[in-house]
Amino acid sequence: TCEQVVAPADADAGREAERAAGQRLQAAGHSARATALIVHGAGETAVLVALSETVSEELRAGITAAVRLALRGRKGFSESPRILLIDPGDTGPCEPR
């Protein structure tokens, strides 16, 4: 199936997104962990990044930029993929960045 073909590429992209987010967190002095998931729907691909602790808006923007840069040029991703960050301090719906 198509899902079986895409799954390894999505897993690899998810690991790359986690690595980029983790490096940005570490550079900012945080010990938080990041977990990423690639989601497909409605003709779009999105990256969901869950953070283990609440971070500042400035750091969230930095993480978003790092993930976007890490995935740039990957097959199946637009130049500006939808990236959703979630941390324990979030109380409302996810806002794409």
**Count of alpha carbons within 13 angstroms of residue 49, beta-carbon side:** 37
Instruction: Give me the pLDDT at residue 81, please.
Output: 80
Domain for residue 92, yes or no? no
pLDDT-based confidence at 43, cuts 50/70/90?
A: confident
Task: Tell me the C-alpha to C-alpha distance, in Å, between residue 5 and each of 8, 48, 52.
Answer: 7, 20, 30
Domain for residue 69, yes or no? yes
Domain for residue 91, yes or no? no
Residue 75, domain extent:
2-86
Instruction: Give me the pLDDT at residue 75, please.
Output: 76
User: Which residues lie across from 46 on neighbouring strands?
Assistant: 39, 82
Task: Tell me the C-alpha to C-alpha distance, in Å, between residue 16 and each of 2, 4, 85.
Answer: 22, 19, 15
Domain for residue 96, yes or no? no
**CA-atom Rg of the chain in angstroms:** 13
What's the CATH code of the domain at 19?
Answer: 3.30.300.10
In sequence order, what are the residues at sequence separation of 6 or more whose Cβ sits closer than 8 angstroms to the Cβ of residue 18? 34, 35, 36, 49
4-25, pLDDT tens digit by residue? 555 778 889 999 999 999 999 9
Question: How many structural domains compose the chain?
Answer: 1
63-91, pLDDT tens digit by residue? 999 999 999 888 777 777 889 999 887 76
